[in-house]
Structure 1
Amino acid sequence: MFLHDYLKGSSSIKKTKRLGRGNGSGKGNYSTRGIKGQKARSGYTKNPGFEGGQTSLNMRLPKLRGFKRYYKLVDNYEVVNLSDLQLNNKILSGDTINKKKLKELGIIRSENSLVKILAKGELDKKLFFVGIDSYSKSAKSVLESVGCKFE
């Protein structure tokens, strides 16, 4: 049996209330709307923020005078861990590592972004780093101990 084979039972189909069809129906005359007033009229709709005449929340809150998008002021670095360089079979000892190479290997998303090398993992390859924007202190010490060079 599939969902499109399933039919609703007759008990699950509920008839709509027939309003305003005379007093015999029990819902005649005012048709459950009460007597007079805005809600009793046809075409009445209520504003979603209406609070019964009380000043609505959006009017009570102070208006903000501008805002700072702090993330525009922060440099977003793409992170490259030492383990990424160690585990990649296409990076051999003595290779030059630059943004273009990292992009080709799929380690970073864009050549135009800022790149930072972090010390997560180990590295035993001697590499030559060109055009890398930043290194963590621990990553720099590990790279120097292995014999890597920087430009």
Structure 2
Amino acid sequence: MELNTIKSADGARKPRRRVGRGIGSGLGKTAGRGHKGQKSRAGGYHKVGFEGGQMPLQRRLPKRGFKSQSLKFNGEVTLAALEKLGAAEVDLLTLKQAKLVDQLVRNVKVIKSGELKIAVKLTGIGATAGAKAAIEAAGGSLA
């Protein structure tokens, strides 16, 4: 085999379709565009979602929901995750290094899910009322 003898497999490269080149080609006269109308003409076409003047779908449906952009800066950590981490002092940086919260997170809150048996000192981290009680019961504190 030589580089100058390599060729594509049979049927791998189809010739491009030449439209509007006579009746014998099968795509002459209207060139596959149907008869008349805006879509058959050169240059003229509708915008995305246009339904010929009918009220478009995106306007017929009710507006619903909202997703706050500030949510990506908030994170949650469970008591079970703190137990697994096993650190005596926990702050935002240690949680990011342990990959318990995303790198974008600025505010972290501990939620009461699971059990905590070790004493943990939290700095710069919030906690729910139940989580705060569980942390203090285990001998930890919030700062």
- d(CA) in 2 for partners of 1:128 and 1:81? 15
Q: Write out per-residue CA displacement over residues 24-68 of structure 1, whole angstroms, 9 at most, x where no aligned residue.
A: x497xxx4339x9677x9x723313366xx53757xx59xxxxxx
- d(CA) in 1 for partners of 2:21 and 2:90? 81
Q: Write out per-residue CA displacement over residues 62-109 of structure 1, whole angstroms, 9 at most, x where no aligned residue.
A: 9xxxxxx761466852111111111125x2xxx222223323333233
Q: Give the structure 2 partner of residue 66 of structure 1.
A: none
- Count the aligned residue pairs: 126
- d(CA) in 1 for partners of 2:78 and 2:90? 13
Q: Give the structure 1 partner of residue 84 of structure 2.
A: 87
Q: 8 Å contact 1:127–1:149 — kept in the other structure?
A: yes
- d(CA) in 2 for partners of 1:103 and 1:6? 52
Q: Give the structure 2 partner of residue 116 of structure 1.
A: 109
Q: Give the structure 1 partner of residue 128 of structure 2.
A: 136
Report runs of 4+ in structure 1 exceeding 6 Å deviation: 36-39
Deviation, 1:6, is 7.7
Where 1:80 maps in the other structure, the secondary structure is strand
**TM-score, normalised on structure 2?**
0.58
Q: Which runs of 5+ in 2 are unaligned?
A: 1-6, 61-65
Q: 8 Å contact 1:80–1:118 — kept in the other structure?
A: yes
Q: Give the structure 2 partner of residue 77 of structure 1.
A: 74
Counterpart amino acid of residue 9 in structure 2: L
- d(CA) in 1 for partners of 2:25 and 2:140? 90
Q: 8 Å contact 2:75–2:107 — kept in the other structure?
A: yes
Q: Give the structure 2 partner of residue 65 of structure 1.
A: none
Larger Rg: 1
Deviation, 1:13, is 5.2
Q: Give the structure 2 partner of residue 150 of structure 1.
A: 142
Instruction: Assess, with a 3 A threshold, how the Cα gap between structure 1 residues 146 and 44 changes in structure 2: closer, same or farther.
Output: same
- d(CA) in 2 for partners of 1:118 and 1:71? 21
Q: CA RMSD in A?
A: 4.4
Where 1:84 maps in the other structure, the secondary structure is helix
- d(CA) in 2 for partners of 1:32 and 1:6? 33
Instruction: Assess, with a 3 A threshold, how the Cα gap between structure 1 residues 96 and 111 changes in structure 2: closer, same or farther.
Output: farther
**TM-score, normalised on structure 1?**
0.55
